Every structure is written in structure tokens, then in C-alpha cells.
Chain A
Amino acid sequence: MPLLDRNGAKKDVWIISDDGSADADHILVSVAHLKQALSGNGRGRRIGVAIANTVKLAELEPHLSEIDLVSIAFPSHGDGRGFSIAKQLRHAGFKGTLRASGPLIADQFAFALACGFDEIEVSSAHAARQPIEQWLKAASSISQTYQRGFGAHNILDARRAARATGK
């Protein structure tokens, strides 16, 4: 399925293998098989985990340093739980790739990036309706928002900087 990040379309190197049995360099396993995949990972494979948006942070927290990718499912564009999970994972110190997977729309791209996502995986039908250009344009349509802790460009820090330089 089409994958994109802040620079545009991206090749997906991850192979879905719920139980981790696939013979590949990058395998995406389910939460149920995560421990097993990590412990049997003598071959230096990259391990990612695909999670529903109901998974609690505590389930992943012990393994975050060993996981290279977390793919969070968005069951619909109206279900924003994945944004909070991404934020929690980043706050817990997850340094790997964060992927949003599901029918998000271009207009949510900026929010996803601000919450810590790196890439979005959408369906082919979706991508046909909303080509990459729309996603990239939407990502930059609001240059600064008000919340601190959601990306470098926020108005509160800009005001603070302006105060510091006496403007």
C-alpha cells in the first residue's frame, strides 16, 4: 500500500509477518508475538510492531529500545486515539519510526507529524483520490500553531524568542 513521509512517496521495506516467521530483513509483527520475535532475533533483523489504537503504553514500554518501527492503526479518519499513542511513545523515549496506517486524510498530515509520526500508509484508493501533492501542501498550510511540545515551530516559543531579542 502507498506510503509517504514529509518528503513524499516512500518505498515500504517492511514485511508483515504477524508471528515473525517471515524470512526478511524488516518484519512487522503483532503485539502478541513481539516478545518472541525480539528474543529470537539473533540474525540482526529489524523488528517492527503493528498495534491497534487500544494498546496501552505499558505493553510496549519495556521493549521500546529494541523496536525499529511502531505502526499504529487508524480504523477511521475520525478516530484520533493514534495521535495520543504517538505522543506517549515519543515521550517515553521511542526513537524509531512511527507509522500511521489507515484512512487518514491529507488534512491530518500536519497533526500526525506534530504528534511524532514519521510516515503514513494509506490505501491505494485513498492515494488515488488524494495524491501526494495534496498531502505535502496540507502539511505546510499552517506554518505555526500554539502548542508547545508539538514540533519546533510554535507560536509560544516564537513569542518567547521575540521577547528575548527585545522585539
Chain B
Amino acid sequence: MYRYDEFDARFVRERVAQFRDQVARRLDGSLTEDEFKPLRLKNGVYLQLHAYMLRIAIPYGTLSARQLRQLALIGEKYDRGYGHFTTRTNMQFNWPRLRDVPEILDLLADVEMHCIQTSGNCIRNVTADHFAGVAADEVEDPRPTAELIRQWSSLHPEFDYLPRKFKIAVTGSPQDRAVTKAHDIGLRILRNAKGEIGYEVMVGGGLGRTPMIAKTIRAFLPKAELLAYLEAVLRVYNLEGRRDNKYKARVKILVHEIGAEKFTQLVEDEYARLDGPSIVADPQEVARIAAYFAPPAYEKLPLRSTGFDAAKTQNRAFATWASVNLFPHKLTGYAAATISLKNIGEAPGDVTSAQMRVLADLAEKYSFDELRITHAQNVVLPHVKQDDLFAVWQALVAADLASANAGLITDIIACPGLDYCSLATARSIPIAQALAQRFADQERQIEIGELNIKISGCINACAHHHVGHIGILGLEKSGKESYQITLGGDATLNAAIGERLGPGLDAEDVPDTIERIVEVYLQHRKAGEPFIDAVRRLGLEPFKAVVQETLHAPA
């Protein structure tokens, strides 16, 4: 994991002092609310429905045990004993007081964390593949790149007042687990014909009101040129992005309106003009960062663990969990374990301070002191010995963290929705809870197989409903909550935007409708055919019919 040096540490402390001063100047009237709002947002402070909300950056989703324990402490001391993991792999607290935020920021700085740029019209927390350093298909670990961008984008003097927010994601694998094509910039690490490492640069993806898939503007950017090229992209966006309408201000609209070709030309012209070598990081600096992500001290283990095999034979629940929640590790004898925060009937992504401490202990004891937060709002222990999996699972059972549903229909992504969020037009969590209860049966979940449901409580699409196999969007219709269903979205390398199945539904009709959609799939699927493949083959028509049935069913 990356560790702060003296420069990083001073930077974050100065930032805390700066925010403390900004709060004081807001109170004494030096700053108006209009002026203060972007400043607090860039420190992760939102004003939500019931209270302020604090969004803490978890860069590229990587956390240590010590950091997670500090989050547990903050949750208890300044909040209501729980936190919420978001789809940008950050943590949100729902109840802090503004007056306490500077103290909280100091506590975060104690463990090398911050809230910088977790909101606002600036470059946001950089995300990466949650199986970075674990996946066998990886060309290169994306985390050093993400860390380099994190530092470069922090308080960038030129890019702190962009037309709109700007999200960057990095993947190091051909199998995209970071939804890079739904980002303002997606970077895919690859090798060219000469075997050199570089990036495919994709720009203009994004969800929200106008979902778009990113376009490739550079098929291969040499690794050393990254920061200079990013500067060119951001400058073009800062100068040319629309500022007349906040819903048309993302870079995706600019790329769409002027065309990818013209946008590429503007970037390349700007790139030709700037002095790249004076901007990019030294190779030594890149190597310094990369060294923090060197593989941990793995043991040499046999391919199969007899203890693991025996435990699976003896304990059916463990065997189920192991078959659903484990991801193959590139090293023999290890596995990456997904810890689901999707217990049936609970709010997706919520975790109590007590559970955070259990997770921290497990990471320390069994996973080289490392945890990952996924964009699916789950936690990963990235490097667990197969021999230890049963002990890990037992501890998870005791902490109510052993749901065996990673990637299944009840592993629902949901934003906080109108239960907390002031932007929401409808609630999301109750829909997620009702669906999870409907599909709670473990064997049926496994029978249905991989199926992502994503529920957003407004058009901003924080839960990425557009790229859910089944997407649900909560809106307001005639003073009531109404839910639109989309089908066929895909967040992977075959990224696709889901299509609407019909008019909005009442909340109580959503579970029946989803169940009918699933039944259509089960009836028509070929052997081993996943839901998303079946939807692609069958088209929308058979599924549209069931929504019509719901609408016309007698009340």
C-alpha cells in the first residue's frame, strides 16, 4: 500500500487547517453559502436531507486495518455507529456536524486519509480494479497509476473549477472490473507490439441524465507521458466544456457535440503545444510509487489446500460461500474473498463500526493488512490463504458478514436514495430490501446465476443503473415515487446502456415485475447462458410483455 512521505503528510495537514479556517470564515460571514459550498464539497461535506454528510476518499478502494479502525472510531464518536460504502469506493457518514468536520479530518490525517475532492466540480477520487495485484490476467497493477493521478489531481490549480465533476478510472486487465467506459476518462493499461507498457485513453463516458460510453482518443499512450496528456485533456475540457447548463457540462456532452474526432484533434493540438517533460513525473518518482505496491511476502503453497477441501465437504454453508464469494488469486494456494455487505433486508453498502473492526482484524491476520472496497459496495480480502478461509468465514458468520451472494441477484447496488440524499427523487434502499427478500432463497439465487440489479434514487445515477443487467431508476410521478426498469446494461468491457422496458411502476409492483423478468430468463435460457447473454439474444420484447402484465394486473 502507498504510505505518505513527509510531503504528503504536510499537504494533508495544511488542507485540514485550511478547511478549519474556511468554516470559521463561513460563520463570520466572510464567505457566503454560495462561495463556501464548493469549498466544503471539495472536502467531501454535503448538506443532505437530515444532516451534513461526509464523504471520505478511499483512493482506488484500498484500505489498511489501521485506517478501517479509524473509520470505525469516527463512526462511533461523530456519527451513529455506521458508515456507507459508495459506488466510487468511498465511505460516507450520514450524520456528522459541520463543526466537527475539522476534527474528523485531523483523525483521518492521522491514518493518511482525507476527503479531498470527493465532491465538487473537480477531479474526483480515482478508482481502479478491486482485484488489482490479484487477477491473473493483469498486464500491470493499476494502483501505482491511480496513486500518481491522485497526487497530480489533488488541488490542481488549473482544474479545481471545472465545468462539472470529472471521474477517472484505471484498469490493468483486459477484463474491465472498474467500469472504465462509464468514466470521464477511462485508462486501460496494455502492451504494444514492442512489449512496452502504455494506456488506451478513453474519454467521454458517464451515466447520469445522458448515459454515454467512452470513446477511445488514444489507442496507445506511452506510460511516461500520462500526466502531460491528462493535462491536455483537462485543459480542453476546462476551456471548451459547456457552462451554460449543468446537465450538459460533463465532458461526455462536449465529446458528443463536437464529435470524438474533433475532440481528439483539440487534445492532440494542445498536447503538441505543451512541454511534456516539464509536466510528467520522473521515472524515479513513478518507481517510488510503484514500490509501495510490490507483492506482499506470499508463501509458496500447493495448488490445493486439503484443509480447505475438507472444510467444504464438512460444512455446506461454507462450501456455498466459497463457491460464490471467492475470486481466483494469481498465486496458487491463495484466494481473494468478497465480503458481501448485502445481507438480506439491510441497506446495501452499510457497515457498522463493530463490523469494521472485525474486517480490520481479519485483514491484519489473514490478508497482509489489506482490504479493498469494490464499486459494488462490498469489501474484499485480497490475499487469503486457502488454509485460512474457513477461519475467516467463521469470523464473518459471527459478525453477520457471511452472505453468500457476491455477483448474484441479491448483491444489489443501491445509492442512499431519498432516505438520506437531498437530490433524490425516490427511495432506493426499500426497493433493494424488498427485492433481496423476494430472492432470499440461497439455492434459487445460485440457480439464477450472475445478475446485477442497480437502483438509483434519481437521474444522477450514482448506483449506475444504466449499466445494471436490470436497472431501476426512482423518479417522482404525480407526487408519488415511481420506478423505471431498464434491461441489458453491462458494466464490463462490453459496456452497454440498458433500455427502458416501459412506463414507471409503483414501488410495490417492482418485486413482482423483476420476478417475472427472471422467470422469462429461466424459461428461455440455454444451458449455462448467463442472464445478460440471454437478454442480448432474446431482445427486449419478451421482457416488455411482463411489465405490461404488471401494469394491467388487477389491483
A147 at the interface (CB under 8 A from B): yes
Residues of A within 8 A of B152 (CB): 146-147
* Majority secondary structure of chain A interface residues (helix, strand, loop or mixed): helix
For window 104-137 of A, CB contacts with B under 8 Å fall at: 105-108, 110-112, 114-115, 129-130, 134, 137
Residues of A within 8 A of B11 (CB): 142, 144-146, 155
Minimum Cβ distance to chain A for residue B520 (Å):
48
Number of A-B contacts (CB under 8 A): 122
- Pair B238/A83 contact, Cβ less than 8 Å: yes
Chain B binder among A16-24, A27-35, A63-71, A158-166: A158-166
A95 at the interface (CB under 8 A from B): no
**Complex: A29 Cα to B112 Cα, angstroms:** 50
Say yes or no: A150-B22 contact (C-beta < 8 A), given A142-B11, A142-B14.
no
Residues of B within 8 A of A147 (CB): 152, 156-158, 279
- Pair A83/B15 contact, Cβ less than 8 Å: no
- Pair A148/B157 contact, Cβ less than 8 Å: no
B182-200 interface code vs A (CB 8 A; 1 in, 0 out): 0000000000000000000
Residues of B within 8 A of A81 (CB): 238-239, 243
A6 at the interface (CB under 8 A from B): no
- Pair B14/A143 contact, Cβ less than 8 Å: yes
Residues of A within 8 A of B8 (CB): 155
Residues of A within 8 A of B17 (CB): 141
Closest to A158 in B: B7
- Pair A159/B285 contact, Cβ less than 8 Å: yes
**Complex: A80 Cα to B5 Cα, angstroms:** 31
Residues of A within 8 A of B (CB-CB), count: 42
Minimum Cβ distance to chain A for residue B154 (Å):
6
Say yes or no: A78-B161 contact (C-beta < 8 A), given A107-B22, A144-B7.
yes
The answer, among B21, B157, B281, for a CB contact under 8 Å with A115, is: B157
Chain A binder among B24-32, B138-146, B506-514: B24-32
Residues of B within 8 A of A85 (CB): 239
- Pair B162/A80 contact, Cβ less than 8 Å: yes
A156 at the interface (CB under 8 A from B): yes
B235 at the interface (CB under 8 A from A): yes
For window 132-160 of B, CB contacts with A under 8 Å fall at: 151-152, 154-160
- Pair A91/B273 contact, Cβ less than 8 Å: yes
**Complex: A111 Cα to B42 Cα, angstroms:** 14
- Pair B161/A79 contact, Cβ less than 8 Å: yes
A87 at the interface (CB under 8 A from B): yes
B275 at the interface (CB under 8 A from A): yes
Residues of B within 8 A of A (CB-CB), count: 46
Minimum Cβ distance to chain B for residue A34 (Å):
20
**Complex: A145 Cα to B107 Cα, angstroms:** 21
The answer, among B30, B235, B281, for a CB contact under 8 Å with A134, is: B30
B314 at the interface (CB under 8 A from A): no
Residues of A within 8 A of B162 (CB): 80
A77 at the interface (CB under 8 A from B): yes
Closest to A92 in B: B273
- Pair A105/B31 contact, Cβ less than 8 Å: yes
- Pair A80/B159 contact, Cβ less than 8 Å: yes
**Complex: A83 Cα to B154 Cα, angstroms:** 16
Say yes or no: A129-B14 contact (C-beta < 8 A), given A105-B35, A146-B152, A147-B152.
no
Minimum Cβ distance to chain B for residue A142 (Å):
5
**Complex: A68 Cα to B121 Cα, angstroms:** 33
The answer, among A115, A143, A151, A160, for a CB contact under 8 Å with B284, is: A160
Say yes or no: A84-B154 contact (C-beta < 8 A), given A145-B11, A155-B11.
no
Minimum Cβ distance to chain B for residue A42 (Å):
34
A149 at the interface (CB under 8 A from B): yes
Closest to A54 in B: B239
Closest to B234 in A: A84
- Pair B160/A111 contact, Cβ less than 8 Å: yes
Minimum Cβ distance to chain B for residue A15 (Å):
29
Minimum Cβ distance to chain B for residue A70 (Å):
16
Residues of A within 8 A of B35 (CB): 77, 105
**Complex: A158 Cα to B151 Cα, angstroms:** 14
Residues of B within 8 A of A142 (CB): 11, 14-15, 18, 155
- Pair A156/B281 contact, Cβ less than 8 Å: yes
Minimum Cβ distance to chain A for residue B122 (Å):
9
Residues of A within 8 A of B31 (CB): 105, 107, 129-130
- Pair B158/A134 contact, Cβ less than 8 Å: no
Minimum Cβ distance to chain B for residue A162 (Å):
9
Minimum Cβ distance to chain A for residue B549 (Å):
48
**Complex: A155 Cα to B11 Cα, angstroms:** 9
**Complex: A106 Cα to B14 Cα, angstroms:** 16
Minimum Cβ distance to chain A for residue B127 (Å):
19
Residues of B within 8 A of A115 (CB): 157-158
Minimum Cβ distance to chain A for residue B160 (Å):
6
- Pair B275/A91 contact, Cβ less than 8 Å: yes
Closest to A157 in B: B282
The answer, among B30, B156, B274, for a CB contact under 8 Å with A91, is: B274
Closest to A163 in B: B284
**Complex: A88 Cα to B231 Cα, angstroms:** 12
Say yes or no: A80-B238 contact (C-beta < 8 A), given A145-B11, A156-B282.
yes
List 14 A-B residue pairs with CB atoms under 8 Å apart, sorted by A's residue number: A80-B162, A83-B159, A83-B160, A84-B239, A88-B235, A107-B39, A129-B31, A130-B30, A134-B30, A147-B152, A150-B157, A155-B8, A156-B281, A158-B7
> 3 shortest A-B CB distances, which residue pairs?
A80-B161, A114-B157, A111-B157
Assuming A142-B155, A145-B154, what are 14 further A-B pairs, CB within 8 angstroms?
A80-B238, A84-B235, A84-B239, A106-B30, A107-B39, A129-B30, A134-B25, A141-B18, A142-B11, A142-B18, A146-B154, A147-B156, A148-B279, A151-B157
Partner-A contacts on B (CB < 8 A): 5, 7-8, 10-11, 14-15, 17-18, 21-22, 25, 29-32, 35, 38-39, 121, 151-152, 154-162, 235, 238-239, 243, 273-275, 278-282, 284-285, 288
